[in-house]
Structure 1
Amino acid sequence: MIDLNDIAIFAKVAQLESFSRAARALGMPVSTVSRRVTVLEEQLGATLLQRTTRRLNLTEQGRAYFNQCNDPLGELYDAERALTQVQRKPEGLLKVSVPVTIGQEPFYKFISSFLRTHPRVHVDLFVTNAFVDLIAENVDVALRYGELRDSTLVAQRIGKSVRYLVCTPDYLDGRNPPSRPDDLREHQCILLNGRNNEAEWEFVSGRKSIKVPVSGPVSARDHQAVSAFTCRGHGIGFLPSTFCDARIAKGELVRLLPEWSSPEIFIHTVYPTRRFLPSKLQVFLEALKGWKSPLWIPLR
């Protein structure tokens, strides 16, 4: 197998018509340049350069070989420069996958701000609860909740979420508030990803843990919908603390069973490899770390 480096060395010698000038341009000893060209000639079984004490000329075979090799070498150098530029400057298409819970107006505002900061980056956004194969779909990065199934991917924690039980004061009119998690069986609950309007909520309090089956009038695919129906008094919601805190302080929501909450759920950025990350992905990951999401508490 002929070494492409030897072809590139030969091409530089042919262009400059000198071993010494080619050696300076390539940052190599003259002896190395001469030896690599000799190796190439031996592998080809042809004399490419006619050497004299005063002059260096291409043979007929050398001229034909140089003409065949020069354009492809130029294309390879152009490809290398283009790839290097993409790696160093944030530009090009960035494919991002997020679940429906994240793919809402606050995240769109984040993407909008990111695009204004990096106008040469274009975002292709996958908003879906379906599992996306990052490699098969050529996706650059995904945001995912909870435990990760694919250990071959690179994952970084960027935040965590804890959910509280909340409802409106109006919902409690004429109802006994729950005094323990099991009491939720008797209440209307607004569900996230519930099947047949039923779900199982997990609670922790110190070292204690319990799971309670719940049901209710509405099941939705994202926290925005759950919060909307909770705030309209249709039932008890199990919502992120980042959403609840301000509304509890204003009296718009009441926190129930304050000694109980969900287990911590971690939010990850997931991407195929940590090697040679393009600049567009690097700046996106940094922007995500600095974003104050209404759905999770950032990790510092």
Structure 2
Amino acid sequence: MDSIEQMRMFSAVAATMSFSKAAARLGTSAQNVSKNIRALEDSLGVLLLNRTTRVVTLTESGRAYLPRCNRVVEEFDELRSVMRDEGAAPSGNLVVTAPVLFGEMYLMAAVEKYLAANPAVSIDLRLSDQHLSLIDEGVDLSVRIGVLQDSTLIAKRLGETRLITCAAPSYLDQAGRPAHPDELPAHSCVFDTNRRTPGQWSFCDGGKSLTVNIRPRVRVNSASAVRRLLLSGEGIGIVPSFVVADDLRSGRLEALLEPFEDRSLPVSLLYLANRHLSRKVRSFIGFIEAEIAAMEDWNAV
């Protein structure tokens, strides 16, 4: 096997710290990956990986070699792809993941238009409120809502959404309208368990962070279900503004505690930090950016 492919295997193992995961990513066997990295080490005259029965780690030589190896592989792939893609239409399978409700409300329409414009592309759209690993799950692109933690990914900002504290007028007319977050523990609350702080809601009071412990009457792991419960008058909840924008404009729901809001969340399109992106990925990124930007009221309240 040529050195480029051996270097590609080493790069995949270094990224996943696993021969089996690297093999799955490359569509080969773990034994083949191990054999070719051994051959690469023999040709270089150094050990690149420490291997035990449980873990794989980079040696000092491996850490020094990895960034140069990645550059060579990326430049080779970029050159080959440029030559192949010159004038070609996007083609192949594209794996995209997004939060369930955002995907159903906004991404689906854009995906339908993209498929109509690119008949040689197929899309595996995985809607999940759990963050899927782009490497382990073989995902090309991921829509995420919230502050990003993973610095190994490139993010293109599609927009932002706010977290709105709201309730139906029927509930508020009966239970009263809270004027301060500290009044929330006395209210019936509907809690979205997808939030990272169970039983707590965060606000901003005079520039300082304020956390309130609530006693939810209902817990549910769906923003759509929270919206439905709020509309039926079950209490107060916190919901992304894109979910309840129409309800707020129509008066079916009423926004509360707006002076204490400080919770804008970016909506981002994420992909792996490679220098070269395939034509299908590049075309989808540009298409989705334009489609989301054209949705003038997608997040207006």
What runs of 5+ residues in structure 2 fail to find an aligned partner? 4-79
Secondary structure of residue in 2 paired with 1:281: helix
What's the secondary structure of 1:201's corresponding residue?
Answer: strand
- The runs of 4+ residues in structure 1 deviating greater than 6 Å are none
Contact 1:99 1:127 in 2 (8 A): yes
Residue of structure 1 equivalent to 2:23: none
CA contact (8 A) 1:86 1:92 kept: no
Amino acid at match of 2:275: R
Classify 1:132/1:104 alpha carbon distance in 2 versus 1 (closer, same or farther; 3 Å). same
Which position in structure 2 is the counterpart of 1:288? Answer: 288
Q: Does the 8 A contact of 1:100 with 1:221 survive in 2?
A: no
1 CA distance for matches of 2:296 and 2:230? 20
Are the equivalent residues in 2 in contact too, given 1:161–1:240 (CA < 8 A)? yes
Do 1:198 and 1:215's aligned partners in 2 also have CA atoms closer than 8 Å?
Answer: no
Structure-1 separation of matches of 2:228 and 2:278 = 39
For residue 132 of structure 1, what is the aligned residue in structure 2? 132
Relative distance call for 1:240 and 1:81 in structure 2 (3 A) is closer
The aligned residue for residue 173 of structure 1 is: 173
Give 1:223 shift: 2.0
Aligned to 1:66: none
What SS does the corresponding residue of 1:190 show, helix, strand or coil? strand
Supply the AA of the counterpart residue of 1:113: K
1:102 aligned counterpart, secondary structure: helix
Indicate the residue corresponding to 1:251 in structure 2.
Answer: 251
Task: Report the Cα offset of residue 218 of structure 1.
Answer: 2.6
8 Å CA contact 1:87–1:279 kept in 2: the answer is no
Post-superposition shift, 1:212? 1.1
**CA shift in 2, pair 1:233/1:83, >3 Å:** farther
Q: Given the superposition, is the C-alpha separation of residues 257 and 224 from structure 1 closer, same or farther in structure 2, using an over 3 Å criterion?
A: same
**Alpha carbons 2:224, 2:243 under 8 Å: kept:** no
2:102 match: secondary structure: coil
| Greater gyration radius | 1
Match of 1:103 in 2: 103
State the SS of the aligned residue for 2:259: coil
Equivalent-residue separation in structure 2 for 1:193 and 1:247 (angstroms): 22
Change (3 A) 1:179 1:132: same
Q: Distance in 1 between matches of 2:150 and 2:277?
A: 19
Residue 241 of structure 1 and its aligned partner are, at CA, apart by 2.9
C-alpha separation between the residues in 2 aligned to 1:132 and 1:288?
20
Q: CA deviation at 1:99?
A: 2.6
Distance 1:259 1:82 in 2: 52
Pick which of 96-105 and 131-140 moved more. 96-105
What is the letter of the counterpart of residue 223 of structure 1?
A
The Cα of 1:238 is off from its aligned counterpart by: 1.2
Does the aligned pair in 2 maintain the 1:223–1:239 contact within 8 Å? yes
TM-superposed CA distance for 1:84, in Å, is 1.6
SS at match of 1:171: helix
- Name the aligned partner's letter for residue 183 of structure 1: E
Closer/same/farther in 2, CA of residues 216 and 138 from structure 1, 3 Å limit = same
Identical counterparts, % of pairs: 28
**In structure 2, how many angstroms separate the alpha carbons of the residues matched to 1:187 and 1:295?**
30
Deviations 1:142-168 (A, max 9, x none): 112223332122122221111221111
Query: Counterpart of 2:201?
Result: 201
Q: Aligned partners of 2:193, 2:297: CA distance in 1, in Å?
A: 19
Decide whether aligned partners of structure 1 residues 158 and 268 sit closer, same or farther in structure 2, where only a CA change above 3 A counts: same
Aligned twin of 1:213: 213
Spell out, residue by residue over 1:77-133, the C-alpha distance to the aligned partner (whole angstroms, 9 max, x if none).
Answer: xxx689723994222100012233433243322322221222221111222233322
- After superposition, what is the alpha-carbon deviation per residue over 1:17-63, rounded to whole angstroms, capped at 9, x for unaligned? xxxxxxxxxxxxxxxxxxxxxxxxxxxxxxxxxxxxxxxxxxxxxxx
Aligned alpha-carbon RMSD (Å): 3.1
Distance (whole Å) between structure 2 residues aligned to residue 289 and residue 173 of structure 1 = 42
Contact 1:198 1:216 in 2 (8 A): no
The separation in 2 between residues aligned to 1:130 and 1:250, in whole angstroms, is 31
Contact 1:153 1:272 in 2 (8 A): yes
One-letter code of the match for 2:287?
A: A
